[in-house]
Structure 1
Amino acid sequence: MWAWIAIYAALGAAGTWLARAYALHRRMIDEPGERRSHSVATPRGGGIAIVAALLIATVAVGVRFPSHAPLAAAFGLGLVLIAGIGWIDDHRPLSPWLRLGVHAAAAALLGVAVGTIHGEAWLGLATFALAIGLTNVWNFMDGINGLAASQAALVALALAWLGGPVWSWLALALAAACLGFLPFNFPRARIFMGDVGSGAIGYAAAGLAALAASGLGSRSALLLWPLAAFMVDAGLTLLSRVRRGERWWTPHTQHAYQAWARRIGHTRVTLAYGAFTLLAVVSLRYVTEVRTGFILGMGAAWYMSGAFFWWLIRQAEPRDRD
C-alpha cells in the first residue's frame, strides 16, 4: 500500500512541475481581478498531473481486477471527457453551457455503467446526479490556495476506507496525487489547479463515492459526511445568488470561503475547512455499524452545523460582492 501511495504522490508532484513549466511557456496565467481571490499572476492547469496519475491508476485497477474492468473503463472515459473540456477551457474560455453538456455526458456514461452493472436503477440515477453536481461544486470551490486539493485528499481517504478491496486503491491514488500537487499550491500558490483539475477531481470523488455505495447499501449516507464543507458552501451560495436573480453561472467571489479569506487569509481558511472535513472523516470510524436512522440524523446535524458556520461567515461580510 505504501509503495502505491508513494508512486502516485511522486507522479502528482512530477506532473505538476511539468505542468507549471508548460503553463509558463504557453502563458496560461490567471491574472488578479475583482472576480478572483488571488493578488499575484499565477499559472494554471496543474491539475492535469492529478488527472494523469488517476488515469494510470484506473488502468492498473482494471488490469489487476478484470471483473471490474468495465466499470473502470467507464470511470476512466468519463474522467477523460471532464478533464479534456477543462483543459481546452484552460487554454481558451469556452461557453459554460458547452462545458455543462460535456459534464452531463460524462455523468450519464458513468451512471448508466454503474446502474447497469450493479442492476440498481436508483444507484445509476444517484451516480449521475452526484457526478454532475460534484464536478461543478469542485470547480466553484477551487478559488483559494490549497482548498480544492486538500479537501479532495481528505474525501479520498474516507472513500479509500469505505470503498472496499477494489476501489479503495483508486481512492488512495487520488489522495496521493493531490498530496503530490499540494506543495505547489499551498501555502503559496506557484500554480493553480485549473478547470482541468477541479472538474475532474469532483467527478472522480463522485464516481468513487457511487462505487463505494454499491457495497454499503443502507449505510451509503455516510459517504456524504466528508462532502459537507463543499456541498454546504457551494449549495447555499448558489441558492442565495438564484434568489437575488443574479447570473449564477458567472464567476464571482461570494462563497463563504472567499469572504472569509478576504479577512483572515487563504492559509487559515484552508486549514479550517480541512479541520471540519477531517473531523467528519474521523467520525466515520465510530458510526459505520450503527443503525441507518442514526446515520441519517447525525448527517443532517452535521450539514446543519455547516450551514450555521456558512451563515456566520456571510453575516460578518460587510456586503455581497459580485
Structure 2
Amino acid sequence: MQAAWMALGLVSVFGIAFLATALARAYALRRRLLDQPGERRSHAVATARGGGIAIVVSQLLAYLGIGMAVPQAAPTLAVFSAGLVLVAGIGWWDDHRPLPAWPRLGVHVLAGALLGALVWYWTGDALKAGFIALLTVALINIWNFMDGIDGLAATQALLAALAYALWLSPPFALPALLLAAGVLGFLPFNFPRARIFMGDVGSGALGYLLAGLVALGIAEGRVAWALWLMPLTAFCIDAGGTLLSRMLNGERWMEAHTQHLYQLHVKRGLSHITLTCNYAVFSIVGITLACAFARLSPAWGTGAAVAWSTMGLGLWWVSRSSVR
C-alpha cells in the first residue's frame, strides 16, 4: 500500500509539473517574457522563459502533502520550503525585472544559511553545516550559469536526483524521487527543442534542491562526502573553471558571457541535442563509478571523486583549448 501511495504521489508531481509548465508558457507568451537571441545567448529564436516555476510548485505541493501526512516532518519541510521560496522568488522577480547581482546573492546566502542550519540541527556538526551553506550558494549560481541550451540544466538535475535516490535510505530517497518527477514533467517543454526556458526561477531552485539532497546524504553519513559531488562534476568543472579563467584574465566575471565550454561548442556549430547528450554521458559514467565506490570505505570514495574530478578537469581544459 505504501508503494502504491508513493507511485501515486510521483505521478501526481509529474502531472502538476507538466500542466504548470504549459500554463507558465502561456503566461510568458502573454506577458512577453522572452529571451531574445544575442551575442550573450546560445539560442537562435525568441523563447519564453520562467518555466521552472512549474518544478518549484510541484515540489512545494509535495512537501505540503508530506507535512500533512507526517506531522513530525513538517517543521523541517517548512524551513526547507522557506529557502526554496526565497531562491525561486528572487529568480521569478529577476525573470520579470532584472536585478543587480548583489541583492540576488544576498538572498542565496540567506537560503544557504537556512539549509546549513538544518544540517546543524540534524547533526550538531558545524563543519557539515558550513559546507552545505557554501555549497548551496555555489549550486544555485552554477545551475544559473549553466542553464543556457536546450535540456542541459534539466537533464543534469534529473541524473543527479536519480543518483541520490539510489544512495539515500528509503525515507530520505523520496525527496530525490520527487525532484526527478518534477523535472521530468518540465523536460518535454525544454528538450529536444525548447519551447520554454526554466529561467532564473527554475535554475536557481534546481541548485537549491540539489544542495538539499546533498545535505540529506551528508547528514545520513552512509557515503563519503566527496561522492555526493560526483553527479555534479560536469557543471562544477565547467562553471568553476570558466569563472576562474575569467578572473585570472581580469575580465568582469559577474557579467553575462558565452565562455562556458558548452557555449563555445555552440558557437562552433555543435547542436544543443548533441551537447546535452554529451554532458549526460559524462555524468552517467561518473554516477556509475560513484555507485561502485559507494560500497567501499570513505577513503576509497574520496579517492575516486578526486580522480574523477581531475580527469574531468583535464578533459575540460583540452576541449576548451581546442574550440577557443
Give the alignment's TM-score, normalised by structure 1.
Answer: 0.95
Structure 1 position 36 matched with structure 2 position 41 = yes
CA displacement 1:1-34 (0-9 Å, x = unmatched): 4333222111111110000000001110000000
Task: Output the CA distance in 2 between the equivalents of 1:171 and 1:41.
Answer: 32
| 1:200 maps to which of 201, 205, 210 | 205
Aligned to 1:105: 110
CA distance in 1 between partners of 2:300 and 2:17 (Å): 38
Matching of residue 136 in structure 1 with residue 121 in structure 2 = no
Q: Where does residue 81 of structure 2 map in the other structure? A: 76
Aligned residue identity for 1:314:
R
Contact persistence 1:61–1:169 (CA under 8 A): no
d(CA) in 1 for partners of 2:224 and 2:106? 31
* Structure 2 counterpart of 1:92: 97
From 260, 277, 285, the counterpart of 2:283? 277
Range moving further from structure 2, 5-14 or 32-41: 5-14
1:316 aligns with 2:322: yes
Give the Cα separation in 2 of the matches to 1:15 and 1:275.
29
TM-align CA RMSD: 1.3
Would the aligned equivalents of 2:227 and 2:305 in 1 still touch at CA under 8 Å?
A: yes
Aligned counterparts, 1:15-26, within 5 A: 15-26=20-31
Q: Residues 260 and 313 of structure 1 are in contact (CA less than 8 Å); yes or no, is this contact kept in structure 2?
A: no
Unaligned runs of 5+ in 2: 1-5
CA 1:218–1:13: 2 relative to 1, 3 Å: closer
Residue equivalent to 1:254: 259
Question: 1:290 aligned to 2:302?
Answer: no
Partner Cα distance (1:167, 1:15) in 2:
26
Identify the range of structure 1 (307-316 vs 92-101) with the bigger mean alpha-carbon deviation.
307-316
Conserved? CA contact 2:34–2:47, under 8 Å: yes
Contact kept, 8 Å, 1:61 with 1:170, in 2: the verdict is no
- Distance, in Å, in 2 between the alignment partners of 1:69 and 1:115 is 17
How high is the sequence identity, in percent, across the aligned residues?
Answer: 50
For 1:272, the aligned partner's letter is N
Name which of 303, 306, 310 aligns with 1:300: 306
Q: How far apart are residue 65 of structure 1 and its match?
A: 3.4
Partners of 1:20 and 1:33 in 2: how far apart?
Answer: 21
Structure 1 window deviating more from structure 2 (2-11 vs 220-229): it is 2-11
Counterpart AA for 2:234 = A
| Alignment-mate amino acid for residue 226 of structure 2 | A
CA distance in 1: counterparts of 2:294 and 2:146, whole angstroms: 28
Counterpart check, 1:53 vs 2:78: no
Match of 2:3 in 1: none
Q: Which residue of 2 aligns with 1:167?
A: 172
CA distance in 1, matches of 2:218, 2:76: 14
Aligned partners of 2:286, 2:7: CA distance in 1, in Å? 24
Unaligned runs of 5+ in 1: none
Show the 5 A alignment for 1:218-257. 219-257=224-262
**Given residue 104 of structure 1, which amino acid in structure 2 is its aligned partner?**
V
Measure how far apart 1:218 and its partner are: 6.0
Structure 2 CA distance for aligned equivalents of residues 217 and 169 of structure 1: 16
Distance 1:255 1:81 in 2: 27
CA contact (8 A) 2:225 2:302 kept: no
Superposed CA offset, 1:78-124 (max 9, x none): 00000000000000100111100000011111111221232121121
Distance in 2 (CA, whole Å) between partners of 1:290 and 1:265 is 39
Residues in 2 aligned to 1:279 and 1:9: alpha-carbon distance in whole angstroms: 26
Give how far 1:222 is off: 1.6
Task: Tell me, yes or no, if the aligned pair for 1:45 and 1:195 is still in contact at 8 Å.
Answer: yes
Cα deviation, 1:226-263, whole Å, max 9, x if unaligned, reads 01001100110000000011111110000011112233
Number of aligned residue pairs: give it.
318
Normalising by structure 2, we get a TM-score of: 0.95
